[in-house]
Amino acid sequence: MKVIPREVESKNTKVCTWSREIRALQKSLKLSKIQRELIIGSILGDGCIAFNVHGKNCRFQVSQTAAQKSYVLWKRSIFDSWSLSEPFYNVKTNSWRFNTISHPEFNLYHQIFYRDGKKIVPDDIDQLLVSALSVAIWFMDDGTRGPQHGYTLNTQNFSREDNEKLMI
């Protein structure tokens, strides 16, 4: 029985295997300031940092409802060189999603924002959430306009203690 490596078609229609080419790509990539700011805002919102199947490196994942397709495409454009496939539509969840490749740079964000597999607000959030772009991304992910006046960030998934950290 012959084993065929898992393949992903990139936007150049060149087929990449999970081997030498991917490792070379990983070595050539470094997160930009804008990408780091987008990650921070996204993690506080709807974004996710998850380990790959081997548990060695993490990937960044974005998923939004179908109505937010253009927003997903914009985020994907910021991570163009980090993702080997275009965003895809999930019929079951009526959402658009994309993933980046697994990379050691994402491991730091998992270490900072996750405890025991659950997303948390780190103690030094005031040092991390300093960019207007990060706040804007967070709001676009989880913000709403109030019923009368004002705006709200939906933080119900965080603990009371984590919510208190966000009151900076």
* The predicted structure's pLDDT at residue 6: 44
One digit per residue, the tens of pLDDT, for the chain of length 168 reads 333 344 444 444 454 555 777 777 777 899 999 999 999 999 999 999 999 888 889 999 999 999 999 999 999 999 999 988 899 999 999 999 999 999 999 999 999 999 999 999 999 999 999 999 999 999 999 999 887 889 999 999 999 999 999 986
* The predicted structure's pLDDT at residue 13: 46
* The predicted structure's pLDDT at residue 54: 83
Q: Which of 45, 167, 26 shows the shortest CA–CA distance to 104?
A: 26
* The predicted structure's pLDDT at residue 10: 41
* The predicted structure's pLDDT at residue 18: 56
Full-model pTM: 0.84
Helix axes 33-44, 132-142, angle to 10 degrees: 40
Q: Are 101 and 26 in contact (CB under 8 A)?
A: yes
User: What whole-number distance in Å separates Cα of residue 42 and Cα of residue 134?
Assistant: 8
* The predicted structure's pLDDT at residue 149: 85
Q: Are 89 and 77 in contact (CB under 8 A)?
A: no
Tokens linked to 108? 């730091």
Q: Is 167 helix (H, G, I), strand (E, B) or coil?
A: coil
Q: How many CB atoms lie within 10 A of CB 41?
A: 25
DSSP structural state of residue 152: E
